[in-house]
Amino acid sequence: MGQREEPRRAHPRDGELGEAVERAQDGDEAAFAVAYRIVQPGLLGYLRGLVGDDAEDVASDAWLEIARDLGRFKGDGAGFRGWTATIARHRALDHLRRRRVRPRPSALEQDVLDLPGPHSTHDQALEAMSTEQALRLVGGLPQDQAEAVLLRVVVGLDGPAAARVLGKRPGAVRTAAYRGLKRLATRLGAEGVTDEAPRTLGESK
């Protein structure tokens, strides 16, 4: 009773991003700035979900590492987006450890897994949410669902790329994203957007 494979969602600027990264690897500083401008908004949104108000500082640390290791990267624009998200996640977890804030374990529900709904459930949730709406709403999701949704909606990664960032099997990430998106779609339809500020993932209510 598995879920169908999600269609790959190409980010509209991945072609431009791939070209910019290739030029940046040849020493073109202006091209690196282009890559930064394309990636940074989604990366910052993801980090806000992980570390809250410290996202800017963590992003700065991540970009220092990205710039330092750029020559080692191999791949296209979509691959670069996933690579930068992996680096940012590592820096965020380091930051949380330094603050001695331990994210609480995932609160996965033990009830019967809902049968997969039509793909329109995902599509409607993705289309209806702006970045700010997503950040407000994901604060109420279990950590694994929140990260899966942030990587899919805010960073723009497909399922396999998000799985690589999280170090999990694609099926587990698809399940987490499905559950999270279904919850968000229900909230969008039934409750509307809340006024609560986003919390750091794992932060107690």
pLDDT digits (tens, 9 = 90+) for 105-133: 433 322 222 323 334 445 555 555 555 66
pLDDT at 170: 87
Helices (H), the chain: 14-25, 29-51, 55-69, 77-98, 120-128, 131-138, 143-149, 159-166, 170-190
- Give pTM, 2 decimals: 0.69
CB 154 within 8 A of CB 46: yes
CB 17 within 8 A of CB 156: no
Burial of residue 133 (number of CB atoms within 10 Å: 0-12, 13-18, 19+): middle
pLDDT confidence bin for 67, thresholds 50/70/90: very high
Q: Is the pLDDT of residue 9 over 50?
A: yes
Distance between CA atoms of 81 and 73, rounded to whole angstroms?
A: 11
Q: Which region holds residue 202: left if phi is over 0, alpha if psi is between -120 and 50, else beta? A: left
pLDDT confidence bin for 64, thresholds 50/70/90: very high
pLDDT confidence bin for 1, thresholds 50/70/90: very low
Q: What is the pLDDT of residues 69-105, one digit of tens each?
A: 999 999 999 999 999 999 999 999 999 888 864 444 4
Q: 145: closest CA among 98, 107, 192?
A: 107
Q: Is the pLDDT of residue 60 over 70?
A: yes
pLDDT confidence bin for 190, thresholds 50/70/90: low
